[in-house]
């Protein structure tokens, strides 16, 4: 069983759906990113604040496996846990439909840090995330 360290509840908005009446695939990336940003805020760190300090976490690779579609008005829970692999922080993110706990998407998001524009191992992130790794 995954060891989730953060959960965020959200609800599908009408404009996120396509003509088929289901969430457009691109919007899942928004859900995943919003979850990571809120997780970061929960540690007391702002994504915008990091940028102002010259630290930019960026997505290097993302893999998404779509399992069950979400529809307008569906409530869902976005969960994550993470690991560090070399200089990468790998986020394992899963979304579950709240009404029946069905898996909606399973994703792996690999991120790296740019410090003052250069790829770098981030001591700041090591410190922020040490309790979760």
Among candidate residues 13, 87, 29, the one with its CA nearest the CA of residue 63: 29
Catalytic residue selected from 14, 18, 94, 101: 18
Question: Is 18 annotated in the active site?
Answer: yes
Rounded-to-integer distance, Cα 52 and Cα 12, Å: 31
- 116 by Cβ neighbours in 10 Å (0-12 / 13-18 / 19+) ranks as exposed
In the beta sheet, which residues pair with residue 92? 81, 108
Which ranges constitute the DSSP H helices of the chain? Answer: 25-42, 47-52, 123-129
In the beta sheet, which residues pair with residue 66? 105
Rounded-to-integer distance, Cα 32 and Cα 10, Å: 11
Residues assigned a catalytic role = 18
């Amino acid at each position: 069983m995954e060891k989730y360290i953060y959960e965020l509840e959200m609800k599908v908005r009408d404009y996120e759906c396509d003509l088929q009446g289901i969430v457009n695939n691109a919007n899942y990336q928004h859900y995943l990113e919003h979850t990571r940003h809120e997780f970061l805020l929960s540690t007391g760190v702002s994504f915008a604040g990091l940028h102002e300090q010259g630290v930019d976490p960026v997505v290097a690779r993302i893999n998404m496996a779509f399992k069950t579609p979400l529809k307008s008005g569906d409530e869902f829970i976005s969960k994550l846990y993470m690991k560090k692999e070399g200089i990468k922080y790998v986020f394992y993110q899963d979304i579950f439909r709240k009404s029946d706990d069905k898996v909606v998407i399973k994703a792996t998001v690999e991120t790296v840090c740019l410090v003052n524009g250069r790829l770098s191992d981030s001591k700041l992130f090591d410190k922020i995330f040490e309790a979760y790794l």
